[in-house]
């Protein structure tokens, strides 16, 4: 994210040192790489399924073709005006993958995701971003869907938006305020 998220002085110093030694064309090819159509299917599903409670967006992504899409889509949804938190979750092979993003420097996203996931899986992160993996080997599809709903409910309670009604993120309601 161009040193814009949780970058330390050491990160900036390393970037300044390395930048003159890079190949800008290669960096451009990496940053603007072509992606398979499955990426767009996941983006479409995320847009269709995303809902919010207050300043928290929940993105149930269904079954994914690529595991890193959970984090990429969490980053994408964090750009929505008025959103402070994004909780994205998707199924990849026999795992539930969760990505948490925050637009607050005091977020403690790693602690949040560890508290919600508990001993059901592995979780970690730091201030503004975190992730988790819960093994679903042998779990029926209906049980996996219930687990996603339960995880979302636990995040909603932890973020103090559990009492708010869910609203479609891209429903027919116009934006309340235009970004500046």
Q: How confident is the model at residue 12 (pLDDT cuts 50, 70, 90)?
A: confident
pLDDT at 176 over 60: no
Q: For residue 52, is it within any domain? A: yes
CATH number where 98 lies: 3.10.310.40
Q: For residue 31, is it within any domain? A: no
pLDDT at 178 over 70: no
Q: How confident is the model at residue 4 (pLDDT cuts 50, 70, 90)?
A: low
Q: For residue 23, is it within any domain? A: no
pLDDT at 104 over 70: yes
Q: For residue 138, is it within any domain? A: yes
User: What's the confidence (pLDDT) of residue 123?
Assistant: 96
Q: For 5-9, 47-51, 52-56, which range has the lowest pLDDT when averaged over its residues? A: 5-9
* Host domain of residue 63: 37-162
Q: For residue 116, is it within any domain? A: yes
pLDDT at 70 over 80: yes
pLDDT at 173 over 60: no
pLDDT at 118 over 60: yes
Q: For residue 132, is it within any domain? A: yes
Quote the number of domains for the chain: 1
Q: For residue 42, is it within any domain? A: yes
- CA–CA separation, 155 vs 109, rounded Å? 11
The mean pLDDT value for 8-30 works out to 86
- The residue that leads in pLDDT, 176 or 114, is 114
Q: For residue 6, is it within any domain? A: no
pLDDT at 171 over 80: no
């Amino acid at each position: 994210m161009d040193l814009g998220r949780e970058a330390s002085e050491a990160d900036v110093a390393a970037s300044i040192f390395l930048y003159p030694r890079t190949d800008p064309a290669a960096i451009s090819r990496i940053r603007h790489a072509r992606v398979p159509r499955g990426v767009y299917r996941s983006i479409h599903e995320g847009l269709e399924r995303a809902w919010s409670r207050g300043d928290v967006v929940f993105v149930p992504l269904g079954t994914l073709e690529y595991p890193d899409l959970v984090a990429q889509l969490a980053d994408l949804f964090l750009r929505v005006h008025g959103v402070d938190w994004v909780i994205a979750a998707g199924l990849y092979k026999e795992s539930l993958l969760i990505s948490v993003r925050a637009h607050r420097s005091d977020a403690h996203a790693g602690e949040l995701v560890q508290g919600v996931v508990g001993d059901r899986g592995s979780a970690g992160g730091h201030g503004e971003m975190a992730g988790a993996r819960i093994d679903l080997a042998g779990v029926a599809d209906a049980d996996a869907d219930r687990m996603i709903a339960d995880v979302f409910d636990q995040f909603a309670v932890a973020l103090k938006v559990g009492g708010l009604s869910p609203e479609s993120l891209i429903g027919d309601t116009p934006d309340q305020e235009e970004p500046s």
